[in-house]
Copies of this chain bind each other. A is one copy, B any other.
Amino acid sequence: MNFEVFALGTSGMMPLPNRFLTSAMLRRDGDLFLFDCGEGTQVSLKMLNLHWKKIDKIFISHMHADHVTGLPGILMLSSQVDRTEPLVIYGPAKLADFVDASRRILDMYINYEIIVRPVEEGVIVDDPLYTVTAFSLDHTKPCFGYVFEEKKRPGEFHPETAASLDVPRGPLWGKLQRGENVTTPDGRTITPDMVVGSPRSGRKFSYVTDTLYLPKIARFVENSDLLLCEGMFTGDMEDAAKEKKHMTATQAGMIARDAHVKKMGLIHYSPRYSDAQLRFLVDDARKMFPKTILTRDRMSFPIALKD
């Protein structure tokens, strides 16, 4: 059951030749979840050669042009595959207005149902296999971070233990694995906890941009396997970042450190930094959190099953 995050773009404000606007795609067991959608998103998807047209859900951080102007193109191209399920797009209140205006003014051909759901802080998707949680950030307009987290999987089944308890191999093993009590042929009751380990953690991906540094972010993204986090400016620009309601790479590193994430990828770089200068951002973040990655467009982050 694969779980892989693709950085589709890493630039903030404006797309550059090697840096499309900040966007990420999570592919989980064939389902696709898109986070933000600026200009260039569909080009990166094409370059990655993902079968991307059937996106399941889209999560928009906030309604600034550099995070949404790729959406009309994605919605139109999503009409080129058969789909029976609606596409659900989550985001701030103005998202519905943007989607409606785009459809009305641009006469977009859409052959499937689009559902726009305004989000508030809290669990916004509760699927049997995963949840998505939104949490409010502090930017120049309403903005949300998102946490995608798999629910716990049943623990590992230990066949040797089952055998040593004289539970015959066959249907009884399956029942125990599914969490049911069983009765052995000689009348003993065996409960799952005797032969199955503790439930195994799911995988967790968090996506955070654009915002002031807020200590609460670490709480929401705690223990993420991957955190993609805005680090727009170098650490020396903290005042300028604050004024523009953005974060420095140093602050992104503090969040990653405080949240004990496994790995943090910086995103949403200011176009003021040349490709060669991006290492200054990473250097700053690494002072706080050594496992910082310089995310580049179309980089992928596969996350293995745990235990």
Residue positions of A touching B, CB distance < 8 A: 14-17, 20, 39-40, 42-43, 46-47, 63-66, 68-70, 72-73, 76-77, 94, 97-98, 101-102, 105-108, 140-141
Contacts and interface: CB of A to CB of B under 8 A. Distances in A.
B77 A72 contact: no
Contact of A69 (B70, B97, B140): B70
Contacts of A66: 73
Given A14-B77, A107-B141, A102 B65 contact: yes
Contact of A43 (B15, B72, B97, B108): B15
Q: Taking chain A's interface residues, is the majority helix, strand, or loop, or is none over half, making it mixed?
A: helix
Given A20-B43, A69-B70, 17 more contacts: A14-B46, A14-B77, A15-B40, A15-B42, A15-B43, A16-B46, A39-B70, A40-B40, A63-B106, A65-B106, A66-B73, A69-B69, A69-B72, A97-B101, A98-B106, A101-B105, A107-B140
A167 B58 CA distance: 78
A243 to B, nearest CB: 14
A197 B105 CA distance: 51
14 contacts: A14-B77, A15-B42, A15-B73, A17-B47, A39-B39, A39-B43, A39-B73, A40-B43, A63-B107, A69-B69, A69-B70, A69-B72, A101-B105, A107-B140
Contacts of A15: 40, 42-43, 46, 73
A171 to B, nearest CB: 52
The 9 closest A-B pairs by CB, nearest first: A101-B101, A65-B72, A65-B106, A39-B39, A98-B105, A17-B47, A15-B43, A97-B105, A94-B105
Contact of A73 (B43, B63, B65, B107): B65
A266 B218 CA distance: 53
B46 A106 contact: no
Nearest to A16: B46
A69 B39 contact: yes
Contacts of A43: 15-17, 20, 39-40
